[in-house]
Structures are given as C-alpha cells and as structure tokens.
C-alpha cells in the first residue's frame, strides 16, 4: 500500500534581529569627539582672554594660536590617506572632511584676527602687507585656496561636479598645505625649530602620497603581456 504524500512542514521565518543585534555604526562617537575636540583650542583662547592670561601681546598670541591650530588640523586631514595606505587604518577616513572644515574655520579666524584685532580694518596697511610681506602673501593664498575646498566639501557637490573633477579640485589642498608651511616658517624670525618640524612632517605626508601615486601610474607598465 502506497504511503500517502505528506506536505513538508514550512520552516518558521527567521526572527528579525532586535535593534541591539543590528550592525551598529563603527565608532559612533568619533565625529562628535572630533567636533568637541576641535573646539577646545578656541575655548581655551576665550577663557584665557577673559582672565587676561594671554601674555604681553595678546593679539599676537591669538593670531599665532589660531594659525597653528589651523595648520595642525590641515595636516591631520592630509594624514588620513597616508595612514590608510601605510597602516591599513580606515576609521580616520570618516572624519577627514570634518578635519578639513575645521582647518578652514581656524584659518579664517586667524585671518579675521589679523584683519580686525591687529589692523582694525586699515585697508591701506592690509593691502601693503599683502604686497610687501611675503609670509602674509603666501598665508593669504593658502586661505584663498581653502575657500572652494570648504564650499564644495559636501556630497551634493561631489555629484554636481562628478567625482573625478571634484577630486582634481580638492588636490589643491596639497598646495594649500605647502603654502601654510611656508607661511609658518617665514613668520617665525628666531627659533624656527617648530615650523621646521611641521614642515618635515608635511613633507613625509606628501611624499607618501607621491610615492603611492607613482606606483599606481607605473603599475600597468609592469604587468606581464
């Protein structure tokens, strides 16, 4: 006697993962940490200014600290890709844009401190400084180059320009970094050990990018036919 066909039981649907089981964004605190940390130098300046603790020349101190913070943040943004290439790190790529924007923010404050606190909108002196004092000329040029980079830093601008054109435009950050290093070096008149140290670090970062670019360019030539 034939055994009657029996319908195989339908397995129950897999349980939907609970919110706690879903894949979380890696390092969700990272951008907030960068945001808060990048504001610490500005807050420190504000507190010390209110206490009258900025030394004998507070205006120069404000200008110097704002400019140095801008340069450090710019180098941090430039270090993101070399860190990925050399160390395999990826977390820093998620905050590269924020680092670059904060570098522009502090560079703009650095120039505004010169414009308002130092010269008090004395346009004749400002124009003369730009024409006759090379360290101010190259520093202003670095700031001008950062303006379109900050303006086009959003994803909508990447889509609007196309990735390749956007990428070519944002390579101006390397020129801005070099000009900022020259500005810092020419600004210091006595002990140049600090600007030289930063210039060497910047040279290593740019040299790493240059070596990788050359390797990628020559790779098709070395492939066996």
pLDDT at site 15: 57
- What is the C-alpha separation between 195 and 188, in angstroms, rounded? 8
The total number of residues written for the chain in this structure: 225
The residue ranking higher by pLDDT, 131 or 92, is 131
Helix axes 30-50, 96-112, angle to 10 degrees: 20
When mean pLDDT is compared across 10-24, 63-77, 181-195, the lowest value belongs to: 10-24
Read off the tokens for 192.
Answer: 């140049």
Q: What is the pLDDT of residues 147-173, one digit of tens each?
A: 999 999 999 999 999 999 999 999 999
The answer on pLDDT for 25 being more than 80 is no
Cα gap 67→110, rounded to integer Å: 5
Q: Tell me whether residue 188 is in a domain.
A: yes
pLDDT tens digits, one per residue of 32-56: 999 999 999 999 999 999 999 998 8
120 within domain boundaries: yes
Residue 58: give the domain boundaries.
Answer: 30-217
4 in a domain, yes or no?
no
Whole-model pTM: value is 0.83
Residue 22 within any structural domain of the chain: no
Task: Give 81's pLDDT tier (boundaries 50, 70, 90).
Answer: confident
Of 118, 120, 119, 110, nearest to 146 by C-alpha is: 110
Distance CA 176, CA 21 (A): 44
Res. 13: pLDDT tops 80: no
Asked if pLDDT for residue 89 goes beyond 90, the answer is: no
Total domains, the chain: 1
Please report whether residue 12 resides in a domain: no
> What angle, rounded to 10 degrees, do the helices at 172-187 and 163-170 form?
10
* 145 is a domain residue: yes
Closest by CA to 171, choosing from 188, 148, 155, 202, is 148
pLDDT in tens, 98-126: 999 999 999 999 999 999 999 899 999 99
68: part of which helix (H) or strand (E)?
Answer: helix 58-87
Concatenated DSSP letters of 143-199: HHHHHHHHHT-SHHHHHHH-HHHHHHHHTHHHHHHHHHHHHHHHH--S--HHHHHHH
Residue 16 lies in a domain: no
Q: Which of 35-44, 94-103, 172-181, 216-225 has the lowest mean pLDDT?
A: 216-225
Measured distance CA(47)–CA(124) in Å, rounded? 33
Q: What angle do CA 122, 123, 125 make, to 5 degrees?
A: 70
90, part of any domain? yes
């Amino acid at each position: 006697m034939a055994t009657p066909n029996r319908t195989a039981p339908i397995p129950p649907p897999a349980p939907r993962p609970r919110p706690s089981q879903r894949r979380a964004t890696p390092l969700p605190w990272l951008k907030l940490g960068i945001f808060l940390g990048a504001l610490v130098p500005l807050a420190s300046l504000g507190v010390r200014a209110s206490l009258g603790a900025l030394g004998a020349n507070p205006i120069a101190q404000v200008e110097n600290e704002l400019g140095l913070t801008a340069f450090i943040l710019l180098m941090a943004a430039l270090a993101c890709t070399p860190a990925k290439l050399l160390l395999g790190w990826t977390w820093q790529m998620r905050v590269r844009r924020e680092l670059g924007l904060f570098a522009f923010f502090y560079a703009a404050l650095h120039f505004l401190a010169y414009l308002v606190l130092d010269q008090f909108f004395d346009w004749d002196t400002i124009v003369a400084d730009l024409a006759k004092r090379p360290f101010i000329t190259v520093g202003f040029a670095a700031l001008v180059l950062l303006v379109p980079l900050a303006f086009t830093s959003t994803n909508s601008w990447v889509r609007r320009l196309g990735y390749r054109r956007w990428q070519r435009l944002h390579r101006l950050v390397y020129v801005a970094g070099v000009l900022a290093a020259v500005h810092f070096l020419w600004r210091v008149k006595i002990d140049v050990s600090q600007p030289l140290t930063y210039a060497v670090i910047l040279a290593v970062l740019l040299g790493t990018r240059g070596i990788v670019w050359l390797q990628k360019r020559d790779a098709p030539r070395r492939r066996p036919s």
